[in-house]
Structure 1
Amino acid sequence: MDLLGVVCWRVAPLLLLLPCGSQCMTVHVINEQPVYVIPGSSLDLKARIRRSPTEEISMVTWEREPETGFDPVKVTLATCSGSGLKCAGTRPNVRVNTKQQETTLQINGFSRADSGEYSVTVTDRTGANTSAHCIVREYEAVHHVSVSINMSHSSLVCGEAWGTDPSFSWLYERGAVTQTVGRVSGDGTTLFVSLKPICGHFTCVVRNKMGDSSATYTAAPCESKGRGMRVAVVCLVLLLLLLLCGGFYNMSDIHLDLHLCCISTVRQTDSLLWEVSLFCRHL
């Protein structure tokens, strides 16, 4: 016996042990996984069936079980059987449709209880079956947004407790963040602040399909360069007024009154306290 004959005799028994040859049916869910569904909307799952022309489908079954748990209970949602694959759902809001190459499942009024691991099982006339699985989860709104500061890196970090597919954006003093203020990371969660020192109000806004939520980090007030000059001009005008009043005061009295005037002005302008005090000390 030649080598080819020996190989054939050894391989043939192995082929007989296989459940099927090239005619095995397959099924797979074509939805992108995991599938997220907004509460109150419809869940739509679609599975594609691949089979040979000689194979016939006798039954299609859709089931669901919890995604996690020690003793998950599988619930039948719909079945299709008989000639023409007539389908029936186990609940009024469940609809299913099956053809020879495709089966679809629809659940109207989706709720959190409908989350879990879905499976579709296709059985042929011989009783052989094949299954496919899909994870379905509730689409959750964004909650509990927070902003923390990393002083060593001069950055602000935005986080949220939970929420499906969140997107992040930043505002500075209720306006867009410019290059002068800082740079946002690629995922949007971190703002690298360029301001020295860090001052003002920084707001992180987190959005998804169900809405948005935000949190604000408040630093020290930013000093304005123009205000200090305005206070200095006020003090100079008062000095000129005192000089115009003439001989009622000597120069030391004028110096004292001007100093008291500046101190009073400082008390009325909290944000310029240090800047004006330094100015007045040089009078």
Structure 2
Amino acid sequence: MDLQYFLSWRVALLLLLMPCGFQSVSVYILNEDPVHVISGTNLVLRARMEHEPQEEVSMVTWEREPETGSASGRMTLAKCPGKSGKCAGTKPHVHANVEQQETTLQINGYNNRVDGGLYSLTVTDSTGAKATVYCVVREYEPVHHVSVSINVSDSSLVCGEAWGTDPHFTWFHERAAISQSVGRVSLDGTTLFITMTPICGHFTCMVSNKLGYTSATYSAAPCETEGRGMTAAVVCLVLLLLLVGGALVFVLWRRHRHNNRGERLQEHLDDNI
């Protein structure tokens, strides 16, 4: 009984020593981290705030600093009162607002040199308790330097790309989508496992994202397909028919000419008689 009494007093003392508003407010960014933005478009960050029913948000502060985390480069972008409404931005292209339990920051005409970095959102409740969340913002890069290499040991082709944002990989064989008779593509799209034998033809890897695409091709030995053999046979048959037809036309022409000469000779003899 004495032990329980002692522990109860310890718990009560710890609760009294806790700062006022402990865990009474929390906040998290709704965007996926990191956020990539195409230069010249608008950056929009959204966050949700949660707090106890008896507490209220008194201040919302958006800040930015270099991604390296240098505090000397930190600057305040917008400060918002806890109640719903627009916030006071520090620059003309910066806009922020608070609506119920969400807050939004918008940077118009994103420029990575001045707008990229580590963004932070600090929410302060009426008791003075604060919660801060961070989000990295970077420029959306086009795909660069696509290459295709072969791994002879497992008959696979590997497609590589330098530093493009959110690259998507698509494979083609002789400009057609990869079929089961040619091979299978890995889940991430970077590797083509070839099942056709022998390996022949042109294999192309196209890498794309929102800003465009680029490709690279691996060329193996030319494929000797049944289709090509059939095409060659058809061409030969057409040529043969043309030769036979030409010979037949020539024979008919000669015969017609010979008949005409005979008729003219007969008419000449009749006239003389």
Answer yes or no: is the 8 Å Cα contact 2:60–2:82 preserved in 1. Answer: no
Task: Give the drift of 1:26.
Answer: 1.7
Spell out the pairing of 1:5-84 with structure 2 (5 A cutoff).
5-20=5-20, 24-68=24-68, 73-81=73-81
Q: Which residue of 2 aligns with 1:95?
A: 95
- Work out the CA distance in 1 between the residues paired with 2:83 and 2:152: 71
Spell out the pairing of 1:1-283 with structure 2 (5 A cutoff).
2-20=2-20, 24-68=24-68, 73-81=73-81, 87-113=87-113, 114-223=115-224, 226=229
Distance 1:72 1:180, change over 3 A: farther
Distance 1:50 1:178, change over 3 A: closer
- Work out the CA distance in 1 between the residues paired with 2:181 and 2:171: 14
Task: Give the drift of 1:21.
Answer: 5.3
How much is the aligned-residue C-alpha RMSD, in angstroms? 2.9
- Work out the CA distance in 2 between the residues paired with 1:86 and 1:33: 25
Bigger mean CA deviation after superposition, 163-172 or 177-186: 177-186
Q: Secondary structure at the match of 1:61?
A: strand
Q: Secondary structure at the match of 1:131?
A: strand
Distance 1:148 1:101, change over 3 A: same
- Work out the CA distance in 2 between the residues paired with 1:22 and 1:76: 25
- Work out the CA distance in 1 between the residues paired with 2:167 and 2:112: 19
Task: Extract unaligned runs of 5+ from structure 1.
Answer: 238-283
- Work out the CA distance in 2 between the residues paired with 1:48 and 1:196: 56
Structure 2 counterpart of 1:205, one-letter code? M
Distance 1:179 1:130, change over 3 A: closer
Please report the TM-score for the alignment, with normalisation by the length of structure 2: 0.74
Task: Give the drift of 1:145.
Answer: 0.5
Structure 2 counterpart of 1:198, one-letter code? I
Distance 1:18 1:40, change over 3 A: same
Task: Give the drift of 1:144.
Answer: 0.8
- Work out the CA distance in 1 between the residues paired with 2:186 and 2:51: 49
Answer yes or no: is the 8 Å Cα contact 2:171–2:203 preserved in 1. Answer: yes
- Work out the CA distance in 2 between the residues paired with 1:84 and 1:181: 59
Task: Give the drift of 1:62.
Answer: 0.2
Distance 1:197 1:20, change over 3 A: same
- Work out the CA distance in 1 between the residues paired with 2:125 and 2:172: 59
Distance 1:54 1:180, change over 3 A: closer
Q: Secondary structure at the match of 2:118?
A: strand
- Work out the CA distance in 1 between the residues paired with 2:58 and 2:167: 43
Answer yes or no: is the 8 Å Cα contact 2:82–2:98 preserved in 1. Answer: no
Task: Give the drift of 1:23.
Answer: 6.8
Answer yes or no: is the 8 Å Cα contact 2:83–2:98 preserved in 1. Answer: no
Please report the TM-score for the alignment, with normalisation by the length of structure 1: 0.72
- Work out the CA distance in 1 between the residues paired with 2:60 and 2:80: 5
Distance 1:54 1:191, change over 3 A: closer
Structure 1 counterpart of 2:29, one-letter code? V
Task: Give the drift of 1:220.
Answer: 2.3
Bigger mean CA deviation after superposition, 168-177 or 4-13: 4-13
- Work out the CA distance in 1 between the residues paired with 2:57 and 2:190: 50
Task: Give the drift of 1:74.
Answer: 1.2
Distance 1:83 1:24, change over 3 A: closer
Structure 1 counterpart of 2:190, one-letter code? T
Task: Give the drift of 1:179.
Answer: 2.5
Bigger mean CA deviation after superposition, 16-25 or 110-119: 16-25
Task: Give the drift of 1:99.
Answer: 3.8
Answer yes or no: is the 8 Å Cα contact 1:63–1:78 preserved in 2. Answer: yes
Task: Give the drift of 1:199.
Answer: 2.1
Count of paired positions: 233
Structure 1 counterpart of 2:194, one-letter code? V
Distance 1:82 1:22, change over 3 A: closer
Distance 1:192 1:82, change over 3 A: closer
Task: Extract unaligned runs of 5+ from structure 2.
Answer: 241-273
Bigger mean CA deviation after superposition, 131-140 or 142-151: 131-140
